[in-house]
């Protein structure tokens, strides 16, 4: 049993689904002969051929549109965005065409749009974005954000099998830094829409997803060690649909909530979570729901600047302490 990286787990998931279902195919910029900018699809074109691993022109909108058309005909396209920052170029296609297709026209559009998102890699304003909030607001889409090696595999497989369009935000910081042993026997599929308790706790709930799960776990550990308090970390895994039940169960247990996301504050997903908790479990709250997020600026390039803009483990520790003392 060898350890595999987050990236390798993702690869495995894609590979297995392509072996299983010949309707699954890949398209995107440099996904074929190059194997993708991050080499997620390296070797796929050799195995599955040029018809199932398609190098496309630089046209995010057309790639998504073409995926949608193929999906209407029963295929299962998986689109790579070279960086998730460029999904902005397909915004109209995703929000106006893809997301509405079933509702307005009864069309099935089972596509997956996946790619690297996130910062902490000194990528600057256009290679560090977390664009989930821009799509979170569009009914018809599902948004998936795997945090673990296991979920990188299990969720991509579930996304491909899902009958609704899924945007799949991988975190590039985790690609090669995160490793785990996935065993070999069972098939790993992680249901979309179910959160995961990454760490059990009783005094405070941290609600988070993607790379922030790891910073939150680090913070929880520090607090346990230094303060003796017990922090629960809830990894949402999917933002749309959101696992309200898991959120509320944790809130009812700990009565205090900190939401941590990497994206900037205003209009980030934390707002919605706050609203939902407030609507459903207001009486269970022993303190305000607080947020640790990036600041409201683009993500700057210099390490010192990026560190200032993005949330850090120490920020989570301090905020959690503040809430625990509330």
Partner 1 sequence: MQRGAGVMTPTTRLSREQLLDMSYYLALTRSLEERLVNLYRQGKVIGGLYRSLGQEGESVASAYALEPGDVLSPLIRNLGSMLVMGAKPVEILRQYMAKETSPTGGREMNLHFNDLGLGYLGQISPLGDMISVMAGICLSFKVRDESRVGLVYIGDGGTSTGAFHEGVNFAAVQRLPLVVIVEHNGYAYSTPTSDQTATPRLVTKAKAYGIPGITIDGNDVLVVYEATRDAVEKARAGAGTFMIEVVTYRRKGHAEHDDQRYQPKEEIAEWAEHNDPIDRYTATLLEQEWVTRAELDDIARRVSTELNQAVEECENDPLPDGATALSRAYARPPQVEPLWFRRLDG
Ligand X SMILES: Cc1ncc(C[n+]2csc(CCOP(=O)(O)OP(=O)(O)O)c2C)c(N)n1
* Interaction site with a copy of itself (CB under 8 A): 85-86, 88-89, 91-92, 95-96, 99-100, 103-104, 125-126, 133-134, 136-140, 240, 242, 263-264, 266-275, 278-279, 282, 287-291, 296-298, 300
Q: How far is the CB of 56 from partner 1 (least distance, A)?
A: 7
Give residues with Cβ within 8 angstroms of 68, minimum separation 6.
93, 97, 98, 101, 109, 111, 165
The verdict on 58 binding ligand X (CB under 6 A) reads: yes
Q: How far is the CB of 40 from ligand X (least distance, A)?
A: 15
Q: How far is the CB of 125 from ligand X (least distance, A)?
A: 12
Closest-CA residue to 168 (of 178, 177, 176, 158): 158
Helix (H, G, I), strand (E, B) or coil at 262: strand
The residue among 60 and 151 lying less far from ligand X, judged by its C-beta, is 60
Preceding omega of 241 cis (within 30 degrees of 0): yes
Closest-CA residue to 64 (of 105, 37, 93, 102): 93
Q: Pick the binder of ligand X from 12, 41, 45, 82 (CB under 6 A).
A: 82
The verdict on 136 binding partner 1 (CB under 8 A) reads: no
Q: Reading across the β-sheet that carries 142-144, which strands appear in turn?
A: 53-55, 24-28, 76-80, 112-117, 166-171, 142-144, 238-240
The residue among 21 and 58 lying less far from partner 1, judged by its C-beta, is 58
DSSP secondary structure of 2-39: -EEEHHHHHHHHHHHHHHH-TTEEEEETT-SSS--TT-
Query: Exactly one of 72, 127, 171, 261 is catalytic; which is it?
Result: 127
Span 85-144, contacts to ligand X by CB under 6 A: 86, 89
Asked whether 252 and 281 are in contact (CB, 8 A), the reply is yes
Closest-CA residue to 65 (of 77, 55, 82, 74): 77
The residue among 96 and 266 lying less far from ligand X, judged by its C-beta, is 96
The verdict on 63 binding partner 1 (CB under 8 A) reads: yes
Judge whether 127 counts as a catalytic residue.
yes
The residue among 37 and 70 lying less far from ligand X, judged by its C-beta, is 37
- To which residue do tokens 């979170």 refer? 136
Q: How far is the CB of 266 from ligand X (least distance, A)?
A: 25
The verdict on 137 binding partner 1 (CB under 8 A) reads: no
- The residues carrying an active-site annotation are 127
């Amino acid at each position: 049993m060898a350890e595999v990286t987050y990236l390798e787990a993702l690869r495995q998931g894609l590979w297995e689904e392509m072996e299983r279902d010949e309707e699954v195919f890949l398209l995107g910029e440099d996904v074929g002969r190059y194997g993708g900018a991050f080499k997620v699809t390296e070797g796929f074109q050799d195995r599955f051929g040029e018809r199932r691993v398609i190098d496309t022109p630089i046209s995010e909108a057309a790639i998504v549109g073409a995926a949608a058309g193929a999906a209407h005909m029963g295929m299962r396209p998986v689109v790579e965005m070279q960086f998730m920052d460029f999904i902005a170029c397909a915004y109209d296609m995703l929000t106006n065409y893809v997301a509405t297709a079933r509702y307005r026209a009864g069309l099935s559009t089972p596509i997956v749009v996946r790619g690297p998102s996130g910062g902490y890699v000194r990528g600057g304003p256009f290679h560090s974005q977390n664009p989930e909030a821009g799509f979170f607001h569009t009914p018809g889409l599902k948004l998936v954000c795997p945090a673990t090696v296991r979920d990188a595999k299990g969720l991509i497989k579930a996304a491909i099998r899902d009958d609704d369009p899924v945007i799949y935000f991988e975190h590039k910081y985790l690609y090669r830094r995160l490793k785990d042993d996935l065993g070999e026997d069972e098939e790993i599929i992680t249901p979309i829409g179910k959160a995961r308790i990454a760490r059990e706790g009783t005094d405070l709930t941290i609600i988070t997803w993607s790379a922030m799960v790891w910073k939150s776990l680090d913070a929880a550990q520090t607090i346990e060690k230094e303060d003796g308090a017990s922090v629960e970390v809830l990894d949402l895994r999917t933002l749309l649909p959101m696992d309200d039940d898991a959120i509320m169960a944790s809130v009812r247990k700990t009565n205090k909530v900190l939401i941590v996301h990497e994206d900037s504050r205003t209009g980030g997903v934390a707002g919605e979570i706050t609203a939902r908790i407030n609507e459903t479990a207001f009486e269970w709250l022993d303190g305000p729901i607080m947020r640790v997020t990036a600041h409201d600026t683009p993500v700057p390039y210099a390490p010192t600047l990026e560190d200032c803009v993005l949330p850090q483990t120490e920020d989570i520790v301090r905020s959690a302490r503040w809430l625990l003392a509330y």
